[in-house]
Amino acid sequence: MAHSHDDFAASVAVRISGDVPLVQAIGECKADCATHGIYIASGARYMGKREVWTGCPDCKEAQAAAELHAEAQQKAQAARQRIEAMVEDAAVPARFIGRTFENYKAATQGQQAAKQIVQSYAEDFAGHLKRGTGLILSGLPGTGKSHLAAAVLQSIMPMHCGLYTTCMNVIRMVRGTWRKDSDKSEAQVLHMLGTVPLLVLDEIGVQYGTDGEQTILFDVLDRRYRDMMPTILLTNQAKQGLKDFIGERSFDRMAETSRWVSFDWESYRPTARKEAA
């Protein structure tokens, strides 16, 4: 009897020695996964002896997803360690560790709105990372800008790599590379600041921005803008003041990609002192 080509290939594949098939399908059966319930398992016999049944497909998928997740976390962790070796501030400065969305008290409507915007930003950080969209938190000192920015960083880690730093520190870091004995190059520092998945830049506009400082800031913000990397800017300036400080070109890029959040209430610091007393 004439075999079809496929039959012939199959019989070559499974019959390596004698008449014992290497792999032989032995049918399907219902199986019960403790987590996912009933599924159809298919069985195979290897070399005429060992029986193997397929496991729960949902468990298999969950395990693959968990492995991917763990791998992404490890990568983010390794990236953060490389970055922290470069920067004086850690990813979240010590005084902001433990400052979370949960312990941010939203007493007024303005505080509630700000918290809601910043928290939902953190919850959809993966989306913002894709679109390169950021936030500008603007308001007087003590209104909780750094608190909420630290809450974002803590909630996206360890899945994503983020960095908190101040405007002054960025300028100091870049200028530090101009020294002859610097162990890193300006290009390395700018690359790191340009590529970290979330950059939180605090204390913009605390001091007067010189042309040289504006140039450095523009370099960082423009890289992030071009590569669609999200940035959170924190400033005690209103729109015009921020524009004067970072320069019009940087301001336009930020305005295009960032949501402006005004923190227009009184400083929390007197309350914090009362709570501590």
Ligand X SMILES: Nc1ncnc2c1ncn2[C@@H]1O[C@H](COP(=O)(O)OP(=O)(O)O)[C@@H](O)[C@H]1O
Which parts of this chain interact with Mg ion (CB under 5 A)?
A: 146
| Least distance in angstroms from the C-beta of 66 to Zn ion | 13
Closest by Cα among 227, 153, 146 to 193: 227
Q: Residues in contact with Zn ion, total (CB under 5 A)?
A: 6
* Interface with Zn ion, residue 56, by CB under 5 A: yes
Rounded to 10 degrees, the C-alpha dihedral 154/176/234/82 comes to: -20
Task: Please state, in angstroms and rounded to a whole number, the distance separating the CA atoms of residues 75 and 66.
Answer: 14
* Interface with ligand X, residue 272, by CB under 6 A: yes
Among 80, 87, 92, 104, binds ligand X (CB under 6 A): 104
Among 41, 59, 86, 168, binds Zn ion (CB under 5 A): 59
Our CB check for Mg ion shows the closer of 221 and 233 to be: 233
Task: Please state, in angstroms and rounded to a whole number, the distance separating the CA atoms of residues 239 and 31.
Answer: 63
Among 83, 118, 135, 145, binds ligand X (CB under 6 A): 145
Taking contact as CB under 5 A, which single stretch among the options 25-33, 75-83, 217-225, 239-247 is the one that binds Zn ion? 25-33
**Residue 144 interacting entry, from ligand X, Zn ion, Mg ion, none, C-beta within 5 to 8 Å by type:** ligand X
- With CB atoms as reference, the residue minimizing the distance to ligand X is 144
The 8-class DSSP code of residue 117 comes to: H
Task: Please state, in angstroms and rounded to a whole number, the distance separating the CA atoms of residues 241 and 247.
Answer: 10
| Least distance in angstroms from the C-beta of 147 to ligand X | 3
Task: Please state, in angstroms and rounded to a whole number, the distance separating the CA atoms of residues 75 and 169.
Answer: 25
* Interface with ligand X, residue 141, by CB under 6 A: yes
| Least distance in angstroms from the C-beta of 1 to Zn ion | 44
Q: Which residue intervals of the chain are DSSP H helices?
A: 5-14, 57-86, 109-123, 125-131, 145-156, 167-176, 186-195, 211-226, 239-246, 248-257, 269-276
**Residue 235 interacting entry, from Mg ion, Zn ion, ligand X, none, C-beta within 5 to 8 Å by type:** none
| Least distance in angstroms from the C-beta of 147 to Mg ion | 8
* Interface with ligand X, residue 146, by CB under 6 A: yes
Residues numbered 70 to 99 that lie near ligand X (CB under 6 A) are 99
61 alpha carbon, distance to own chain's centre = 23
Closest by Cα among 50, 54, 46 to 29: 54
- Provide the binding-site residues for ligand X, judged by CB under 6 A: 99, 103-105, 111, 139, 141-147, 268-269, 272
